[in-house]
Amino acid sequence: MAKPAGPARPDGAAPAGSARADAAERAGPARPRPAGARPARARPLWIAGALVLLAGCMIAGLLDGAADISPWQVVLQVADWLPFTHVDSGLAPVEQGLLFELRLPRVLVAAVVGGLLAMAGAGYQGVFRNPLADPYLLGAAAGAGLAATAAIVLLPSASVPVAAFAGAVGGVFLAYTLGNTAGRNGGTATLVLAGVAVTSFLTAIQTFLQQFEVEKLQRIYAWILGDVGGGWDQLLLVLPYAAVSAVLLLLHGRMLDVLSVGDEEAAGLGVRAGRVRFVVLLAASLATAAAVAVSGLIGFVGIVVPHVVRRLAGGSYRIVLPLSLIGGAAFLVMADLVARTVLAPAELPIGVVTMFVGAPFFVAVLRMTRRVVT
């Protein structure tokens, strides 16, 4: 039997302890903080700590490579690249070119892709209220995989990143359209089922296309397993979409906090749950499509990073989203570093590294989720 609500207050506020009151406390900064919530003054400390971690990971990524360059020289060269500074690193022009043309864009692409995937994962988890929601949930991966395969097999002169981006957006659009036409009362469950159906169908077409050009399977699988070594062109391709999707998601952190108590309570607070859900899904899907376009399919980043952030800094999406952006960047930069060094001089696909980390982590999250439910 449901617990009766507390007595009505003369000022019209929700009874203490109700879901509406909890949501109001999280939505309005002027109201008292819910019990157990992280203090607002702690958020800048978490952000600062995450930025320091990211900077350390990026410097570590620049230090590693086939050429033997002194770590101190790398640090000096990075300082020389900063605005309004001039430092003599002592590196030869060839070594400077190696750092600037190969290592630096690779580290930056890994950071952008990791940040986008982690933030998209946090956005999806906020919309579906499920810690197991994944950036590839709505057919983005299947659509990108099909489009990239078609570009490699049928259109050799086509741009694989552009085709993958279009395919990812198309896969999400198809899943969203199918979910809406299946019935408005299905909610997020209908949308997830539509994504599963679209993913299965597009994956079947991709497998069919691969049979026409068996000699190109290695290139297809290399793309599917992920790669962040595309250079400055790939970085410039992804940056506009990364900026738009990141801003949209960060602006909806407070709305996701309200949405977490349920659509009815959110509506009582004046929040249009359907509109918030649509914008967040759109932004998360755009982030996923942009990341997939330049890196291929890199799994589990969107599950591992947001979950770790929640365990460390609390569940408010006003802190989960920015920390997921920074933490995802650091995570994928380190994953790429492992991929380059564990089998040196050979290179392991970065998607294999994230699978090794993500698969056990996924099982652990699943067990904890089941324990909470039961």
CATH code for the domain in which residue 367 is found: 1.10.3470.10
Summarize pLDDT for 234-249 with one digit per residue, the tens: 899 899 999 999 999 9
pLDDT above 60: residue 20: no
Looking at residue 336, what is its pLDDT?
A: 93
> pTM of the prediction?
0.82
Looking at residue 327, what is its pLDDT?
A: 96
Would you say residue 27 lies in a domain?
Answer: no
Summarize the confidence of residues 83-110 as an average pLDDT: 86
SS3 call for 155: coil
- The domain tally of the chain equals 1
Would you say residue 77 lies in a domain?
Answer: no
More confident residue, 24 or 140: 140
- Separation between Cα atoms, residue 2 and residue 334, nearest integer Å: 48
- Separation between Cα atoms, residue 311 and residue 334, nearest integer Å: 20
pLDDT above 70: residue 16: no
Both tokens assigned to 157: 């002169």
More confident residue, 24 or 232: 232
Is there a contact between 333 and 56 (Cβ–Cβ < 8 Å)? no
Token look-up 């159906």 returns: 197
Looking at residue 84, what is its pLDDT?
A: 81
Summarize the confidence of residues 212-240 as an average pLDDT: 85
Summarize the confidence of residues 292-320 as an average pLDDT: 91
Q: DSSP alpha helices (H): ranges in the chain?
A: 19-27, 42-63, 71-81, 93-98, 104-128, 140-153, 160-181, 187-210, 217-224, 232-251, 253-259, 263-268, 273-295, 301-313, 317-341, 350-373
Looking at residue 66, what is its pLDDT?
A: 66
Would you say residue 59 lies in a domain?
Answer: yes
Would you say residue 152 lies in a domain?
Answer: yes
Q: What is the mean pLDDT of the chain?
A: 81
Summarize pLDDT for 311-365 with one digit per residue, the tens: 998 889 999 999 999 999 999 999 999 998 888 778 888 999 999 998 888 888 7
Token look-up 């203090």 returns: 39
Percent of residues, the chain, with pLDDT higher than 70: 85
Would you say residue 162 lies in a domain?
Answer: yes
Would you say residue 290 lies in a domain?
Answer: yes
Q: What residues make up the domain containing 323?
A: 44-66+92-373
Would you say residue 75 lies in a domain?
Answer: no
Q: Of how many residues is the chain composed? A: 374
Looking at residue 244, what is its pLDDT?
A: 95
Would you say residue 37 lies in a domain?
Answer: no
- Separation between Cα atoms, residue 113 and residue 325, nearest integer Å: 10
Question: DSSP assignment, residue 358?
Answer: H
Of 215, 222, 219, give the one whose Cα is nearest residue 347: 222
Q: Residues 150-186, buried b or exposed e (16+ Cβ, 10 A)? A: bbbbeeeeeebbebbbbbbbbbbbbbbebbeeeeeee
